[in-house]
Structure 1
Amino acid sequence: MTRAALALREAERLLENGRHLGTAKHGPMRVEARLRGSDFWFLISTNGRCEEIGGLGWRVPLLSDEATIERLNDDCLLSFQASSSLGSHLITLGSDSEGETFFTLTVTFTPKSALHIPFFPRDLIVLGPKGKSDRPKGRIDARQRRLNTGLCYATLDDPDLGKVLYVQDLTALNGYFNATGTKPENAVGGEWPEIGYLAPTHPQDATKTLPAGRKVVLSHAHLLLRRYSKNEESAAARQFLEMLGAVYKRLQKPVAPYRDWVGRAERTLGDLSTSPNARTQHRGHIYFHPYTASENPDSMVQLSLLSAIHDWGKWTGQNQPLEREIVSGLRGFYDRKLKTLRRYLPDVAADKDADAVDSWYLYHPMAMLAHLAHEGDEEARDLFFDSVEYGIKAAHHFAYRWPIQYKIDSFEIITAVAADDRGQTDVGGMYAWVMLQAFQLSGEQRFLDEARAAIEAAEGMRFDLNYQANLTAWGAAACIKLWRVCGEDRYLDQSYVYLASFFHNCQLWESEIGYARYYSNFLAATCLQDAPYMAIYECFDSFAAFEHYLDLGGPDLVPAAKKLVSEYCRFALSRAWYYYPDALPAEALAQDDIRNGHIDPALNFPLEDLYPDGQPAGQVGQEIYGSGAAMVFATRAFHKIEGAPFIVHCDHFLRAASTDQANAVTFALDGPAGMRAKLTLLPLPGVQKRKREVTLNGPNGPIRPLKKRESKELQVQFSLPAQGAFTLRWNQ
């Protein structure tokens, strides 16, 4: 008998003879507390009794069938104290006045003596109506992937409860994980009809104990139910985003401190220019390694750096010598016979297959070329259009469903699918973005048709759409651009499918496991759908894609989508700092068996990998190809204002900045309503430091500066609404 079948049998017995402990109402929902054996339950149903119409059973294991239960009088919907010879449980079920079907269950436990717990049962089970309690109908649409958000998104048909989103706030459980030496990998989701959280344990290791007398949180979970009849892909994705957005504001969040990306960008450029570990020479041209003194130069690395350096030069108003160095060598990757950019140079080392290419590697360099072409670079424009036809040929050959890796000269598939039996499922989104750039640069309808075909070919993948986080983000941007160009709402709706898959692959919790206590992983995306780590390239490239998404979406986005994307970008600006080895203690860095090259903390190149389970950082290597991160963050978050004696930093994207008035700038923020942004003024290099009067006015009048700045180097800081029009004034 399966674990799920055993759970259903136990639930049936609970419905038949569980001991009643209390009842409460919350909007249309009825909640009953019951006890059977060593398990405490909340039965949740719509109006009627759970045993009659079915519902959800939310379990709290008390670890002992001799516990005494006391109902507490407090502000919660239902609250109980359970005491036994093992210790004391405090069980509270809270509700939310803003949502009639929103519940939060918090369980804390204080053991009387050191306690080893070999097993916990999963906590949430779906119960069918009378006569069919063991046969509820529905499905799990999305469950936790590895160490990403501890969520389960499900559809309940019988009982007819609609959509259910369960989120375990894993941040609150760090004390349990550290005490027991566990990690919450794939902890939420289960097998239908068990859809909740299964606490990790070490059943064979009796030394993994909860310490005596110390209160530990065993569960802090949110449950949201919504009646929603539509189940089309885009409707289900939008509902997921809206429900996740509702849960998001109730999650524990870390602070997101200001980071000096301008200084980091300057140091990065210096290291790129001078470090022999970064550069190599081929046929009279300078090329950059992917990792420190390791791996063969490839086209994606050169173009990623070139795009970021170009943006930096535009931001500073100064030509960057490195830009011309890279441009001069790009044609070395061009295959005149195939008429496309290859991944490697013709004289690549013998240990590499010169013809092998990952599917996304064909298109990402094209996207960077298109960006440069839009900026007026004619060489980039020519190389883009010299290559784009082969990209279309590949798309047609694979019918817009790309494998993991193939031979660029023959399209022979080297690796068709990953371990989960899927290819690079979101490459179509990256391809669509490239085609839209070609359409914009040329005006040719066929490129627009290609973009539409690629997005339509990905329909139906639902939560299996994500392969690599940044590709999914560019797919969302492509959808929103298609919507603006074509005026068809289905593309706006399809952008939510990409976003839902992206945020399904994020970590809405802050880990303190192992070395993770030295950095932040909150709202980070796992680089691949099955990867154990977060990566810097996917982090900042998604940030760049989402800048386009928010700009193109504007006020027409559903609030939850705007909130989640804006918050991803806000936290990325702060969290990404920890990828740099000088931001971490030496003990947190990988020492041996580094896959590519070596780690040099003196170089301003980021590590590829950080781990939510606290493994040593940088096991994959120190990225040179990700060194554009500092420049991308600096050029999007820091703003030089004409005539101002300072630089403006904002953790949300500034829109419509204007300096029509003397000693003033007006700007808009189009972030999520009801949330806050942070504006920081930094002294402009070379400008004499002196006290200046600075005022900020918003939609509701003057906004006072924060009394406490994050550091003395910061001139002024403001907390302001993330949405509205503002005027900043200063005296000279």
Structure 2
Amino acid sequence: MIKAISPWLLNANAALMHYDLPVILKKEQNGYHFSIINQGDALWLIVAWPLGNTIAFRLAYSPGDQLNIKKANISGRNIKVEIGSLIGAQHVELKLPEQEGSPLHWTTTLVPAAPLLLPYWPRDIAPLGAKRSDVLALGDIRVNQVGTRCGQLYFHVTRPEAGAVFYFQNLTSLSDYNQDTETSAGNTVGGEWPEIGFALPPTTKQKPLQQGKSYVISDAYVMLSAEIPPDEPAMIRQYLDMLAGIYLALPKPDTHYQNWPEILQKGLYDLQDSPGCWSQLGGNHYFNAYVSDYDTPPEIMVQLAVLLPLLDYVEWHNVELDVMKKIKEGLPAFYNEKYGTIMRWHPKAADRLQGEEEHKKPLVMDSWYLQHPLLNLSRMALKGDTEAKKLFLDSLEFAIKVARHFDYQWPVFYKMDTLEIVKAETQPGAGGEKDVPGLYAHVLLQAWELTGEKRYLAEAEKAALKLKGLGFKMFYQANNTAFSAGALLRLFKITKKQIYLELSYLALANVFVNTQLWDCNYGYGKNFPTFFALFPLSDAPYTAVYEEQEVFCAFHDYLHHAEGLDIAPSVRLLLAEYIRFLVERAVYYYPTMLPKEMLSDEVKTGEVDHNLWIALEDLHDGWEKSGAVGQEVYGAGNAFGILPRHYMQVEEAGFMIYTDYPTYGFSPTKHRPATFRLAGDSRMICRLMIVKSGHAKLPEITVTTGGKTQLKGKHAEGGDLEFELPGNAEVRIDWR
């Protein structure tokens, strides 16, 4: 079947493949041939693969015009072209790849000649195919932008065979365009083959570009490969390596130190003392899912989602919290003797459910909602909690029965009593909760570790293998996909079977596909950072605190289990960088950090108290208000997860060591020097802080990396010390 194409692509293909258009500049680099050609109303970069197949990227455009090339020069890898056009002056700066594995990059700016509306803009990639051929290339799009996620397009050119392309539009650079036209950068990169690439969002609100103001209208990075991956593992590795290659070249926003000890205390106070966070039932206290949500019965997932981060904190700080005792006392009430398992809803209040949503019925289970509490109970059990161990092991056979009944491929909702499917698929033809096999494998690995019974390990392997072949469609919910990655890495370590390492990369790639590698600096987005934010579901329109906090913890665990293993450098880099940016961004989920005018006037569940240090569930695109879902009590683990993982206590000397990268090998010590190793990649820079834990001045501090390089710090606010150092470094800190 011949695919229909637009006049714009038909015209471009005919002109570029058949007409003898003037070649402005030509250069060969790393086996690829690059030519810049003026088609008339468009300036194109033609790239020829080593085998001759060609693809074109549009650098500049002026509809129905004849572009006037005023100046063009080449200096090494750098090419600059100045263009006159009816819509205004355009300037293109192009950098060819420095070496194999580094990206091609261009930036195009426009200075409008008049107040300018752009109701339509064609996509900027033309897969031309073989030279002098009328037949456009055939290809497969593997990843494209969804909503306000990365402006990414990963595809393979399959006929004539050429290779792979990773196209990335740096949407941060388009903020002035989006601000002045009141448009969103969402869904701007994608298309249907062969009409693919980036298109400026149409100016439908009669908000023009300003005459005489300079706007970036394209800031593109392109990774090229002559390899079409032969199988899924090779495709996933190629995607991760290409993403990391672009990430290294991408300008990244500055990060800032957030005072997490202080933030935690504010959040702990409000979590314990705010009436809106609590309900009482059967003589026990339970967390509400959302602030002032008294209609929804207590859920076991909510209780454990807060309890586990609190457990991390009390182990780090060596304190006791009464709030933890309250929650633990109420957990046994969720166990149902009849079915031999914990239930999602508190059995004594399940009849309050009105069924306004499919899953809000007493015996309806959302597939991951059974696995997740079991995972958290197993974590408590492995820390010596006997009540948690009993609840976990008593529920385990039911979980295994469910897994086998569905052949390790879970629907969205099912009934607990009959296992009847209530909702099979997320969307027609899309399948159910595809990452639950990995989450279930994690649960069974915990059971194996707790009991030593090999049947649990075998069960984990059966489930894990169901993830093969899912490609970039594995992701149902971010935290579950991240937990799956860790479970698969553990399976690799235990069994030495390469398939599990490859499947762990598959899970991680699915997480990174759903990130936002750009800063939304328009509209309300000016009030909070969004770089490297993560979306909770594959189609979610907002980022969410609970899933981000759990992915953050899962990534820490993945790096811990990967210590000493030869894992992909791209994986080490991307995991550490997500963590670094989350440690800064997470504080902006608290409504206290945001202006009131950007909070939603209507709230779906409960209410939002701007003065309460309980995180909002949802942060949206810059033109949409946030907090519309509610203030998420079960996301209160945010600070309690961050503090123990990023602050190392040196009690005798009166300070803590903070890093925004994960660390290995530090244990609480009163002896000098303190030593540890940073995770991540040596090509990236992270922050280290010496943070006062009392009122006394800091002692004289010496920070050394690699056993010889002494770093110079700078004084920060409050008398703390700040250092910058590379990732993957051995660090020694001494004081006197």
TM-score, normalised by the number of residues in structure 1: 0.95
Aligned: 1:721 with 2:726: yes
- Which segments of 5 or more consecutive residues in structure 1 lack a partner in the other structure? none
Aligned: 1:292 with 2:300: no
8 Å CA contact 2:95, 2:105 repeated in 1: yes
Q: Name the structure 2 match of 1:344.
A: 345
Q: Name the structure 1 match of 2:455.
A: 446
Per the TM alignment, residue 61 of structure 1 is displaced from its structure 2 partner at its CA by: 1.4
Per the TM alignment, residue 19 of structure 1 is displaced from its structure 2 partner at its CA by: 3.4
8 Å CA contact 1:285, 1:328 repeated in 2: yes
Q: Name the structure 2 match of 1:360.
A: 368
> Structure 2: how far apart are the matches of 1:411 and 1:280?
30
8 Å CA contact 2:657, 2:690 repeated in 1: yes
Render the CA deviation track for 1:236-279: whole Å, top value 9, x for unaligned: 00110000000001212112211122222222222222211111
Per the TM alignment, residue 24 of structure 1 is displaced from its structure 2 partner at its CA by: 1.7
8 Å CA contact 1:703, 1:718 repeated in 2: no
Q: Which amino acid in structure 2 is aligned with residue 505 of structure 1? A: N
Which stretch shifts more, 142-151 or 225-234? Answer: 225-234
Equivalent runs, 1:626-645 vs 2, <5 Å: 626-641=635-650, 643-645=652-654
8 Å CA contact 1:26, 1:101 repeated in 2: no
Q: 1:691 to 1:299 in 2, by over 3 A?
A: closer
Q: Which amino acid in structure 2 is aligned with residue 391 of structure 1? A: A
8 Å CA contact 2:703, 2:711 repeated in 1: yes
> Structure 1: how far apart are the matches of 2:185 and 2:635?
29
8 Å CA contact 2:654, 2:698 repeated in 1: no
8 Å CA contact 1:29, 1:101 repeated in 2: no
Equivalent of 1:573 in 583, 589, 597: 583
8 Å CA contact 2:17, 2:128 repeated in 1: no
Q: Which amino acid in structure 2 is aligned with residue 91 of structure 1? A: V
8 Å CA contact 2:648, 2:666 repeated in 1: no
8 Å CA contact 1:9, 1:134 repeated in 2: no
Q: Name the structure 2 match of 1:213.
A: 212
> Structure 2: how far apart are the matches of 1:264 and 1:661?
26
Q: Name the structure 2 match of 1:322.
A: 323
Aligned: 1:31 with 2:34: yes
> Structure 1: how far apart are the matches of 2:611 and 2:59?
51
Q: SS in structure 1 opposite 2:73?
A: coil
8 Å CA contact 1:8, 1:134 repeated in 2: no
Q: Name the structure 2 match of 1:71.
A: 71
Q: Name the structure 1 match of 2:357.
A: none
Q: SS in structure 2 opposite 1:151?
A: strand
8 Å CA contact 1:59, 1:124 repeated in 2: no
> Structure 2: how far apart are the matches of 1:717 and 1:321?
35
8 Å CA contact 2:576, 2:679 repeated in 1: no
**Matched length:** 721
Per the TM alignment, residue 132 of structure 1 is displaced from its structure 2 partner at its CA by: 4.0
Q: SS in structure 1 opposite 2:161?
A: coil
Equivalent runs, 1:182-581 vs 2, <5 Å: 182-203=183-204, 205=205, 207-294=206-293, 295-346=296-347, 347-348=349-350, 349-351=352-354, 352-419=360-427, 421-554=430-563, 555-581=565-591
> Structure 1: how far apart are the matches of 2:380 and 2:408?
26
8 Å CA contact 1:310, 1:320 repeated in 2: no
Q: Which amino acid in structure 1 is aligned with residue 14 of structure 2? A: E
Q: Which amino acid in structure 1 is aligned with residue 179 of structure 2? A: N
Q: 1:100 to 1:655 in 2, by over 3 A?
A: closer
8 Å CA contact 1:150, 1:187 repeated in 2: yes
Per the TM alignment, residue 46 of structure 1 is displaced from its structure 2 partner at its CA by: 2.8
Render the CA deviation track for 1:637-660: whole Å, top value 9, x for unaligned: 112135331111111122112577
Q: 1:231 to 1:196 in 2, by over 3 A?
A: same
Equivalent of 1:42 in 35, 42, 45: 45
Q: Which amino acid in structure 1 is aligned with residue 723 of structure 2? A: F
Aligned: 1:582 with 2:582: no
> Structure 2: how far apart are the matches of 1:335 and 1:659?
42
TM-score, normalised by the number of residues in structure 2: 0.95
Per the TM alignment, residue 185 of structure 1 is displaced from its structure 2 partner at its CA by: 2.2
Render the CA deviation track for 1:180-222: whole Å, top value 9, x for unaligned: 221122221211123311211035x4x2211000000000001
> Structure 2: how far apart are the matches of 1:11 and 1:90?
24
> Structure 2: how far apart are the matches of 1:563 and 1:345?
42
Per the TM alignment, residue 93 of structure 1 is displaced from its structure 2 partner at its CA by: 1.8
Q: SS in structure 2 opposite 1:249?
A: helix
Per the TM alignment, residue 228 of structure 1 is displaced from its structure 2 partner at its CA by: 2.1
Q: Which amino acid in structure 1 is aligned with residue 135 of structure 2? A: D
8 Å CA contact 2:103, 2:249 repeated in 1: no
Q: Name the structure 2 match of 1:730.
A: 735
Q: 1:22 to 1:339 in 2, by over 3 A?
A: same
Per the TM alignment, residue 339 of structure 1 is displaced from its structure 2 partner at its CA by: 1.1
8 Å CA contact 1:69, 1:82 repeated in 2: yes
Q: Name the structure 2 match of 1:16.
A: 18
Per the TM alignment, residue 64 of structure 1 is displaced from its structure 2 partner at its CA by: 4.6
Q: SS in structure 1 opposite 2:689?
A: strand
Q: 1:101 to 1:730 in 2, by over 3 A?
A: closer
Q: SS in structure 1 opposite 2:122?
A: coil
Q: Name the structure 2 match of 1:662.
A: 671
8 Å CA contact 2:615, 2:633 repeated in 1: yes
Q: Which amino acid in structure 1 is aligned with residue 609 of structure 2? A: D
Which stretch shifts more, 64-73 or 546-555? Answer: 64-73
Per the TM alignment, residue 232 of structure 1 is displaced from its structure 2 partner at its CA by: 1.1
Which stretch shifts more, 567-576 or 254-263? Answer: 254-263
8 Å CA contact 1:127, 1:135 repeated in 2: yes
